[in-house]
Amino acid sequence: MLAQWDPFAELSRLQSVFGRPMTEAEKSFRPAVDIYEDETGVHLKADLAGVDPKDIKVHIDKGVLTISGERKEEKEHKDKGYHRVERFYGSFTRAFALSDELNNEDIDAKFDNGVLSLTLPRRPEVKPKAIPIKTS
């Protein structure tokens, strides 16, 4: 699978390596999300390693699914003058527009090994249906 390359993000990362402190926007935590669709509905998986499940909120309003929460920063460890932090912390929000084909009432949400999995089933009446053709 190919990932989209963001040259500005790469430039920011390189600048931070060479001594310029990162801005607050560059330090923000934005969890990666995979979304795939099959005949039963839409499935979403979000990488939320280090986030306490009770700090995660999932809700739907006006056809928009929103996942929000916070990964709290751990205590810093400084040993022998060496200090480096590459993981991001803080509040996050991800929002996704939903199709009218989905049943917003029966969403299944699970959190296991740092991954939030959501299953949004299709409404029964909009599932693909084969139409038989009668011959004379």
pLDDT in tens, 84-108: 666 677 788 999 998 888 888 889 9
Between residues 41 and 14, the one the model is more confident about: 41
Count of alpha carbons within 13 angstroms of residue 42, beta-carbon side: 17
Using CA atoms, how far apart are residues 97 and 133, in angstroms rounded to an integer? 36
Q: Is 126 helix (H, G, I), strand (E, B) or coil?
A: helix
pLDDT tens-digit profile of 12-34?
666 665 565 655 555 567 899 99
For the whole model, what pTM was predicted?
A: 0.67
Model confidence at 1: pLDDT above 60: no
Could you please state the CATH topology (level 3) that the domain comprising 29-72+88-125 is classified under: Immunoglobulin-like (2.60.40)
Q: Please compute the mean of the pLDDT values over residues 58-68 and round it to a whole number.
A: 92
Q: What share of the chain is helix, strand, coil (3-state, %, to 5)?
A: 15, 40, 45
Mean pLDDT score, 96-121 = 92
